[in-house]
Structure 1
Amino acid sequence: MKNTIKALKFSIIFLIIASSFIACDKEFSVIESDVLGKGNANFGTNQIDIPIAAYNKKLNALQVNNLSHNFLGFFDDPEFGQTTASMVTQITPTAFSPNFGENPVIDSVILSIPYFSKPIGFDDDGNTTYSILDSLYGDASKEIKVTIYRNNYFLRSLNPNETNSPQNYFSNADNNTTDNLALIESGSINFDDHKGDIVKEITFTPSAEAIKTTVGEGEDAITSRSAPAFRVELDIDFWKSAIIDHEGGTELSNASNFNNYFRGLYFKAEAVGGEGNMIALNTLSQEANITIYYTKGADDSRSQSTYAFNFRGIRLNTFINDYHVALADGDADLGDETLYLKGAEGSMTIVDLFGNEDADNNNIPDAMESFIDDFRISDPDDPSGYLKDNTTGNFVLKRLINEAQLVVHESDLAISTDDYHKYDRIYAYDVNNNIPIVDYLDLFDPTGNANDPFNSKVVHLSQRNPDQKKYKIRLTEHLNNILLRDSTNTKIGLVLSTNVNYTASAQILNSNDDVIAIPAAAILTPRGTILYGSNDNVSNEKRMKLQVFFTDPQDD
């Protein structure tokens, strides 16, 4: 989600904490190893650039079910092209085997799914006003068309090919500019082939206005206000036939029977006149529901009641991409000149920190070995090995890393307007294990902010520098683990994210390379950006590089 809050104004306390991480040219950082040298008194700070290979990885068949939220609408990214997002979801009754009472009559049926909004002030009457910019992609003044169908495709929860494994659903936007498709192991699903009755057809523009709900009439009327939402009044006759008329039937008796009988809703989004916008829907909110409001009882003693459904069953997005940039896998040996980070079903970057040492034509085959040899102390009793500390079991270092940064520059091909990329964040993860880098942990980056993703984890995952148009990804502890504990040098994945707090992983269907999953945060943005890569054709000042600042003991 985008975040419009201004850049974090660091407190004095935070600056002291942060400086301990980034003051690589002023302070010595102890990392569980003795420093050798006369009296341990004299130290010099140096810098080296470690060769890397950074290349593109095209992303196809990404897991799109049960994400933290869902998209609906049309987004035209000026750098990449168009994405249309539709949604398929089960609806789950909040109670089974309902008793609707005597002579139930529906008054209204309301679908409501909140946007991601923030209070920003008060109007003249003292009512809260909101911003939905965290939820909105594109021009809020443009309309989008949404047709809600009854979905007739059964969304199964278990994978019949794997014992006790959930059934995942995957995106299928590659070379597809027309159909709302999803993939499972057995093939493709076209939800247009399984659409039932139209539940509602609307064109709308997302609004930041609070939702007003009035209960009662005249002097007894009570009006309440709630946060902005995608709110639609649905057809009464449809829900009477589909739900009320099945009181006492097996269809409403339990979740399994209901999901087989009423297989969900298909929200099909379309641009209007080639334009539109995309909105993030908080489908897991307590306020996200479909509510049937009805009255019941004898004519002279009727009472009001409700029957509701939530969206906490199986949910998935479908994507239709019409890009004008040809995304493709890059050169793992030499690295790419231009790197594309694109959300939804798009593209990511793989960073091999010491270059692709397995490549026959690589000109840096010994980068990893040279790095280790430069920092560890050789074992005098074993010239082919390195000295270990008997207490900790860690290798003893002759140089200590103060700071290690992956420096990433925005390409001149990216949109030059600062406002467009102002809130972009780059999220780094361990490709081998599909988890955040060790530097992400609170122990090494104490700046986590659960309520403000834009200003969260700014030590490890820096915010974009608007003047230099670059990012710095802190990898200090990642390299320390390699040197001290012989940890595996895993490849680093880079994705664009608008919520670096969201660390869940999304699988890739039938992946046949190192990347078998990506951070789900990469799917939960339709945005993209373009970066300079590590290829020799990129000028040295713009080339992606790993800079290591270290302390070296100096002789008297």
Structure 2
Amino acid sequence: MRDSIFTKYIVIALFSVLFVSCDKDFNTLGGDIIGDENYDFLGDPFTVKAYNQKVPVIQTNNLPLNQLGITNNPVFGKTVANFATQLTLSSTSPDFDQTKNIVIDSVVLNVPYFNKKVRTLSSGIVKYKLDSVYTTDVNDTIYKPINLKIFRSGYQLNDVDPDNLEVSNKYYSNQDANFSTNVVGAQLNDDFAKPSQNSAFKPSNREYVNYKVKSTKEETGTNYFTMKHERTTEVESRGVPAMRINLNKDYFKQHIIEANPSNLANNNIFKSYFKGLYFQVEDANEGSMMSLDFSKGNITIYYTEDEIVTETKNNTTTAIGNNRPLKEFVLNMSGVTVNLLNNTDNPSYLSAVDNPDRTSGDDNLYLKGGEGSMAYIELFTPQELNTLKADKDKILLNDASLYFTVNRDIMTSKYEPLRVYLFDVDNNKVLYDYSFDVTDNGSFPKLSKYIFGGILETKKDNDVVTEKTYRIRITEHVNRIIKGEQENVRLGLVVTENIGYSGHVKLKSPTAVTNLKTLPVSSVVNPLGTVLYGTGANAGNKNVKFKIYYTKPN
């Protein structure tokens, strides 16, 4: 019967989400499902306790997204995020014939930004708005610069633990010193005449335009030509906005083009030889923070080489020219990656999350992604739960939800998480309500599973914001608790970058008292934070609400 109840709940909830107003209290569901005058539809608040938990050093290798840059929030403090990645050859054993006078035109690092297409002008120019880029500037399209340095890494990253080849290796958020003290050679993005390439780097929402190349014959001797290639102003293709940085040509010629061919024979050898790149952001009080999918990035070496053109007359072959074709070789940003987070926490924030009130609950809940903080949620008193269980065969559960309100007196940043996420923290797994929610938002996947919820809702009065809230539905979870099919476990509340990232990563060491061992990867990849009213004595009427709507015989 439980499955059929949940199916009805999903259908009606979906109908409500799609066609009803923002008031999502299912006050009519009982009548719709039962339709019996001998039943009462009840909406009761139940006891909930919520308290803070600091997230210590956490695993950050091979994340689906990585942070790069600086964020400085007056509530939480400052985070400087660096990044390291292995490189792989797009094709192994490349044929770099050293007799062909190879000349590198440019070496370009390219990592696309998340973006939304705004419009296309009559000229063909496409206007974009960047997504998942955060800055201290008041204008979302004017980003504060950062001093970005890119080095060849001298620190070996491994897929497996060298001491136990059957275990995947793990790297953690506090390992920046392993990379910063093991760089090889000078800074690679060394075009210092253009500060936007290094000391004053900032994201740009401009599209990437690739211009056509015009090739012409240039006479370089009697009856001999050499092809000359020049960029024109004619557009060949357009691409989405991306981080595009020129790297040192001589370095890549020496260490890639002129490398010992044995070092390029396969990617295992190459990763041991070159090791990868280390992206270092110099500490500052302000800047921009970017969430990037580096797996979609690459480094392209553009070069020319000799290609002799011959002519045969009277059984005599003569060289008449040199085509000097344009070629490219790509290094992918794949393999092991690690995000390196350097936090300077605000003392008041640190005090709040390091000293939670686990007895009565905290007045405010501080949620922050990365190596940040989360909240524990405990449902019911023993008496409440016993009363519900005693009526378990009579109760038809229609909806159970948790309601959280943003403390806007503390949380004044213009950037706040689009979504928060609730999970079974005792067993490190998703809730049944998450699993059963198959709703999908194809155009904006971050809003999928919208019945499960946790999406930021803003209430306004005459265009003035009056309240911001998050609601999470846990109907099936509570239903199974009442039926005795699910333990009343502690729940964990975190910010989330993408509701589809349901995996977990490990903490370097379990936390004291709460024994927290893992955290959802969706929280680790989100640099943002928020402050919610909790359940302490001073939380007031905006405290966390736990409401259950059900029908039972009168």
Which TM-score bucket, shorter chain as reference? 0.7 to 0.9
Instruction: Report the equivalent of 2:434.
Output: 440
Which of 320, 330, 352 is 2:356 aligned to? Answer: 330
Aligned AA (1:530): V
Q: Which residue of 2 aligns with 1:503?
A: 502
- Give the aligned partner of residue 232 of structure 1: 245
Distance in 2 (CA, whole Å) between partners of 1:207 and 1:365 is 55
Aligned residues: 484
SS of the counterpart of 2:188?
Answer: strand
Per-residue CA distance 1:404-452 (angstroms, 9 max, x = gap): 11111222443347x544x5311111213323221123x4x34332431
Contact 1:89/1:265 (8 A) holds in 2: yes
CA contact under 8 A between 1:413 and 1:530: conserved in structure 2? no
**1:214 matches 2:211:** yes
Q: What is the CA-CA distance between 1:30 and the residue it aligns to?
A: 9.5
SS of the equivalent of 1:469 reads: strand
Provide the residue aligned with 1:156 in structure 2: 158
Q: Is residue 190 from structure 1 mapped to residue 178 from structure 2 by the alignment?
A: yes
Give the equivalent residue in structure 1 for 2:273: 261
For 2:124, give the aligned amino acid. G
Select the residue among 447, 451, 459 that pairs with 1:459: 451
For the pair shown, which has the larger CA radius of gyration, 1 or 2?
A: 2
Confirm or deny that 1:529 pairs with 2:520: no
Change (3 A) 1:119 1:492: same
AA at the equivalent of 1:486:
E
Q: Deviations over 1:88-113 (max 9, x none)?
A: 11111111111123332211111100
Report the CA distance between 1:22 and its aligned residue.
Answer: 5.1
Q: How far is 1:332 from its partner?
A: 2.5
Q: Aligned AA for 1:147?
A: K
**8 Å CA contact retained: 1:117, 1:135:** no
TM-score under structure 2 length normalisation: 0.81
* 1:462-521 deviation line (CA, Å, top 9, x unaligned): 432322322211110101122235212222111112322322222212215442211111
1:93-492 pair list within 5 angstroms? 93-101=89-97, 102-139=100-137, 140-172=142-174, 181-182=175-176, 189-197=177-185, 198-201=187-190, 202=198, 203-217=200-214, 223-248=236-261, 250-271=262-283, 274-285=285-296, 288-298=297-307, 300-324=322-346, 325-326=349-350, 327-328=353-354, 330-354=356-380, 364-373=381-390, 375-376=391-392, 397-416=393-412, 419-421=414-416, 424-441=418-435, 443=436, 445-467=437-459, 468-484=467-483, 486-492=485-491
Q: Are the aligned partners of 2:502 and 2:521 in contact in 1 as well (CA < 8 Å)?
A: yes
> Which amino acid in the other structure matches residue 313 of structure 1?
G
Q: Which amino acid aligns with 1:528?
A: G
**In structure 2, how many angstroms separate the alpha carbons of the residues matched to 1:16 and 1:239?**
55
Shift of 1:297: 2.5
Question: Whole-Å Cα distance in 2 between the matches of residues 368 and 466 of structure 1?
Answer: 32
**CA shift in 2, pair 1:542/1:219, >3 Å:** closer
Q: 1:367: how far off?
A: 4.1
Residue identity matched to 1:244: I
Secondary structure of the 2:477 match is helix
Tell me the percent identity.
32
Question: 2:110 is aligned with what amino acid?
Answer: S
Q: Secondary structure at the match of 1:67?
A: coil
Residue number among 3, 24, 31 corresponding to 2:26 in the alignment: 24
Gaps of 5+ in 1: 1-11, 173-180, 183-188, 355-363, 377-396
Alignment partner of 1:83 is 2:84: no
Quickly say closer, same or farther: Cα 1:127–1:61, change in 2 above 3 A: same
Match of 1:383 in 2: none
Asked if 1:515 is matched to 2:516, the reply is yes
TM-superposed deviation, 1:17: 6.2
CA deviation vs aligned residue, 1:276-335 (integer Å, no higher than 9, x gap): 1111222122xx110111112246232222111111111111111112121315232322
- TM-score, normalised via structure 1 length: 0.81
2:219 corresponds to = none
Residues 115 and 230 in structure 1, CA contact (< 8 A), matched pair in contact too: yes
User: In 2 relative to 1, CA 161–365 (structure 1 residues): closer, same or farther, beyond 3 Å?
Assistant: farther
Structure 1: how far apart are the matches of 2:255 and 2:208? Answer: 27
Contact 1:436 1:503 (C-alpha < 8 Å) held by counterparts: yes
Name the Cα RMSD after superposition: 2.7
Assess, with a 3 A threshold, how the Cα gap between structure 1 residues 23 and 69 changes in structure 2: closer, same or farther. closer
How far residue 533 of structure 1 moved from its aligned partner, in angstroms, is: 1.2
For the 8 Å contact 1:216–1:222, the answer to whether it is kept is no
